[in-house]
Amino acid sequence: MESTVVIIPTYNERENLERIVARVRVATPDVQVLVVDDNSPDGTGEIATALAAADTAVHVLHRAGKEGLGAAYKGGFAWALERGFDRVVEMDADGSHAPEQLQSMLDAGSAGADVVLGSRWVPGGSVVNWPKRRELISRGGSAYARAMLRLPARDVTGGYRVFTTEALERLHLDEVHSHGYGFQVDMLWHAHRAGLSIVEVPITFTERAYGASKMTTGIVVEAMLRVTWWGICELTDRITGRRPVRAGAVAER
């Protein structure tokens, strides 16, 4: 059986952490959980420690301070690689990613995909409790990144994903420098450039019920500026032949 760990980055998620960990443990009992806490001032780290003490399948990685989503995930990836896990899952702490849908994503990975994207924008995917403006921004940002970077997926900004650890080793993590909102696009871009197979599985994304979203207009704008620069680099590489892109396959399930 393939060993899997769900990585849940946290910063001020005390209202959500116990709920999401409990849901993961019920929905996928054979999967382990790693909470990566960036020294949350609201006590989330202490809750994570208590959860780990009560359940041997729950672990916690305490980090010195807030360094961004990308740094937290990369710390979690390193932890998983050191311990020999076969697959890692990216999951938000706020409940927007349903653990009850994780098994279908794991099944897609078991069928041979290197990367599985939980997709809001393929048939069967949806969002719940989002204002239309936010949906348009998300769809537009995803479409822009897809076009600029020639990515073969519809939902390129989503954060519910499964990677094989072999895929993580192949996609040059040391070259993924984004820490914020652009991290997910950066990861997918590198996965595509590495020739990894990518599958999209429809999910229902539900807006958080507790706590405040970390997303701001400034974060989105910064990410899109990064995507523009990456697109220019991508075009330059294609013209000069400096780093040919090996297209990874993508499918919907």
Domain ranges of the chain: 4-252
Kindly state the DSSP code that residue 101 receives in the 8-state scheme.
Answer: G
Strands 250-252 and 161-164: unpaired
Triad 78, 194, 182: Cα angle to 5° = 65
Q: What is the pTM of this model?
A: 0.89
Residues 6+ apart with CB under 8 A from 204: 98, 101, 120, 125, 126, 127, 128
pLDDT in tens, the chain (253 residues): 789 999 999 999 999 999 999 999 999 999 999 999 999 999 999 999 999 999 999 999 999 999 889 999 999 999 999 999 999 999 999 999 999 999 999 999 999 999 999 999 999 999 999 888 889 888 988 999 999 999 999 999 999 999 999 999 999 899 898 877 789 999 999 999 999 999 999 999 999 776 665 555 556 666 777 778 777 877 777 777 765 444 445 555 5
Helix (H, G, I), strand (E, B) or coil at 210: coil
For residue 98, what are the contacts with CB-CB under 8 A and spacing of at least 6? 23, 203, 204, 206
Cα 127 to the chain's mean position, in Å? Answer: 17
Order of strands, sheet of 198-202, starting from the edge strand that comes earlier in the sequence: 58-62, 32-37, 4-10, 87-90, 161-164, 115-119, 198-202, 250-252
Give the fold, CATH level 3, of 4-252: Spore Coat Polysaccharide Biosynthesis Protein SpsA; Chain A (3.90.550)
Token duo for residue 117: 């994207």
